Amino acid sequence: MHFEMMEALENLERERGIPVETILDALANALVSAYKRSPGAAEEARVTIDPDTGEMLVYAQELDEDGNVVREWEDTPDDFGRIAAQTAKQVIQQRLRDAKREQVFDRYQGRQGDLVTGIVQQVDHRYAMLDLGDAEAIMPSSERIPYERLDRGARVKALVLEVREEGKGAPIVVSRSHPDFIKALFELEVPELIEKVVEIKAIAREPGHRTKLAVFSNDPSVDPVGACVGARGSRVRQVVNELRGEKVDLVQYRDDQKQFIAEALSPVRGVREVRIDEEEKEAIVIVPDGQLSLAIGKEGQNARLAARLTGYRIDIRPESNPEGLPIEEPEADVEVEVPVEAEAPAEADIDVDVEVEVPAEAEVEAEAEAEPEVEVDAEAPAEAEAEAEPEAEVDVEVEVEVDEVAEVEAEEGEVRE
C-alpha cells in the first residue's frame, strides 16, 4: 500500500506540478497530530516516511527543560497504517486545493482591472459565484449592480477587483458596480481607447441608474464622443445592454474648466454662464429657466454626477434669478367671505324660516296671560291669526318681511293712543 501511495504522489508531481517532498512534509506533520490524539501517546513525537518505500514510523521523544531531545524510541501504533491512509487522503486533497489556489493566484495576480467572462453558478443575498473556466470568482453583494437579477447559468462580464493569496473561498473577487467596469466595457468596444487615440479622463457612476464619462481625443481629427458612441450608437449600445439598461452620458473633456462643467451637465444645452472659484472648487451655473429641472435631474442626480465628474461643487441657477436671490411670493387677491348678518344692511329684507314646537300646556298659559287690552279692528297678518289659536300645535314656517312687521307695530301704536 505504501508503494502505491508513493506512485500516486509521483503522478501528482508530474500532472499538477506538486513536488513529492512537499506532500511528504505535510503528511508527516499531519501524522504527528493524528498520533498525539491516540491513547497513551507521548507529548512529543516525530514521523519519518521513507521516500522510496513509503514506510511510516513514529518516534516518541522526551525533552529536557531547554527543549532538547534526551531520549527517543519507536512508538508506532498497531493501527497506524489505517490512520496513515486516512490522513494521507486528507492531506493530498488539501494540498491539491492549495496548489490550485496558488496556480490561480499566479495566473490572475497581475490582472486587476481586467474584464473577465463567467457563468453564474450560485446566487444568494451575500454573493454570486462565477465559473471563469480555469478558476472560480466571487462577487460580493456590495459589488453587484443594485436590483440586477443574475440567473443561474447566465453568462456575464465582470471586472477583476482583487486576487487574494490567503484565506478561504475563491481567490478572485470581481465587480460589476465599480466605475472601472464601465471603462473596461468601452475598451472592449472602442479600439481607439486601446490605441490611446481616445482617453477616458473621468467617470462618475451611480450603478444601475446613470453613468457619466468624460472622454478626450489626442487626435484633433477624431471626435472622442462619436468614437465611443459608434455608428448609429452601435458601440455604446453594447455597453448599455451589458449594464441591463443603465443610462450612459458621454461628454467631451475640456481643459477649460468652465467649458468642462457646462459639458458635464449634459443633456442640458444653452448654458448661459459658468462662474468658478478655483480655491473653493465651487461653480455657479446659469441655465435657461426651461432647462433648470433637466440640469438638476431626477432627485438631483444629473447635478450630483456632474459634480463628481468635474470635482466642483455646482450651484445651478435659473436665468431669471442668476444671483440666487430669495424669491418673494406675490401677494394674492384674497376674497373674504362676509357672514350674511354682517353684509345685510339694517333695513334689508330678512327671510326667516322658523319651526317651533310648543308644548300644549305652555301654549294655554301663554294665551291666558296675553289677553289683548284693546280690540283692533284691523286686518291682521295671517301669521298673527295662526298664533291666536290656543289649542293647535304650532309648527309654523314664518317668512316676515321687515317692512311689514314695522307697519303692524305702527298701527298697534296708533290704536293704543
* Rounded Cα gap, residues 41 and 289, in angstroms: 88
The pLDDT value given to residue 214: 97
Q: Is the peptide bond before 267 cis (omega within 30 degrees of 0)?
A: yes
Which residue, among 98, 102, 48, has the nearest Cα to 76 in the 3D structure? 48
Domain stops at, among 146, 175, 204:
175
Same domain for 144 and 186?
Answer: no
The pLDDT value given to residue 220: 93
Long-range contacts (CB closer than 8 Å, 24 or more residues apart) made by 57-60:
58/31, 58/32
Could you tell me if residue 25 is inside a domain? yes
Q: What is the CATH number of the domain that holds 164?
A: 2.40.50.140
Same domain for 192 and 293?
Answer: yes
Comparing 168-177, 221-230, 241-250, 355-364, the range with the smallest average pLDDT is: 355-364
Could you tell me if residue 368 is inside a domain? no
Could you tell me if residue 164 is inside a domain? yes
DSSP string, 1-25: -HHHHHHHHHHHHHHH---HHHHHH
* Rounded Cα gap, residues 76 and 284, in angstroms: 84
pLDDT digits (tens, 9 = 90+) for 128-153: 999 998 889 999 999 999 989 999 99
Task: Using the predicted structure, report yes or no on whether residue 154 has a pLDDT greater than 60.
Answer: yes
Same domain for 203 and 167?
Answer: no
Task: Using the predicted structure, report yes or no on whether residue 88 has a pLDDT greater than 80.
Answer: no
Q: How confident is the model at residue 41 (pLDDT cuts 50, 70, 90)?
A: confident
pLDDT digits (tens, 9 = 90+) for 268-293: 988 999 999 999 999 999 999 999 99
Task: Using the predicted structure, report yes or no on whether residue 86 has a pLDDT greater than 60.
Answer: yes
The pLDDT value given to residue 327: 56
The CB density around residue 224, as the number of other CB atoms within 10 Å, is: 26
Same domain for 192 and 169?
Answer: no
Q: What is the CATH number of the domain that holds 193?
A: 3.30.300.20
- Mean pLDDT within 295-316: 95
Mean of pLDDT over the chain: 79
The pLDDT value given to residue 188: 94
pLDDT digits (tens, 9 = 90+) for 160-191: 999 987 767 678 999 999 999 999 999 999 99
Same domain for 300 and 255?
Answer: yes
335 secondary structure, DSSP code: -
* Best-predicted range by mean pLDDT (64-78, 80-94, 361-375): 64-78
Task: Using the predicted structure, report yes or no on whether residue 314 has a pLDDT greater than 50.
Answer: yes
Q: How far is CA 15 from the centre of its chain?
A: 47
Q: How confident is the model at residue 55 (pLDDT cuts 50, 70, 90)?
A: confident
Same domain for 147 and 186?
Answer: no
Which domain, by its residues, includes 38? 2-107
Q: What is the CATH number of the domain that holds 42?
A: 3.30.1480.10
The pLDDT value given to residue 328: 55
**Angle (deg, nearest 10), helices 20-36 and 2-16:** 130
Bridge partners, residue 277, by sequence: 282
Same domain for 231 and 260?
Answer: yes
The pLDDT value given to residue 291: 92
Same domain for 136 and 46?
Answer: no
Q: What percent of the chain has pLDDT over 90?
A: 44
Same domain for 120 and 66?
Answer: no
Q: How many domains does the chain have?
A: 3
- Mean pLDDT within 233-250: 94
Contact 176, 156 (CB under 8 A): yes
Longest dimension (CA), the chain: 154
Same domain for 92 and 118?
Answer: no
pTM for this predicted structure = 0.65
Q: How confident is the model at residue 32 (pLDDT cuts 50, 70, 90)?
A: confident
Could you tell me if residue 328 is inside a domain? no
Same domain for 305 and 223?
Answer: yes
Same domain for 53 and 183?
Answer: no
Could you tell me if residue 350 is inside a domain? no
pLDDT digits (tens, 9 = 90+) for 365-407: 444 444 444 444 434 444 434 344 444 444 434 344 444 444 4
Dihedral sign computed on CA atoms, order 389, 394, 399, 402 = positive
The pLDDT value given to residue 3: 65
DSSP string, 179-248: HHHHHHHHHHH-HHHHTTSEEEEEEEEETTTEEEEEEEESSTTS-HHHHHH-GGGHHHHHHHHHTTT-EE
How many helices (H) and strands (E) the chain has is answered by: 14, 14
* Rounded Cα gap, residues 270 and 139, in angstroms: 43
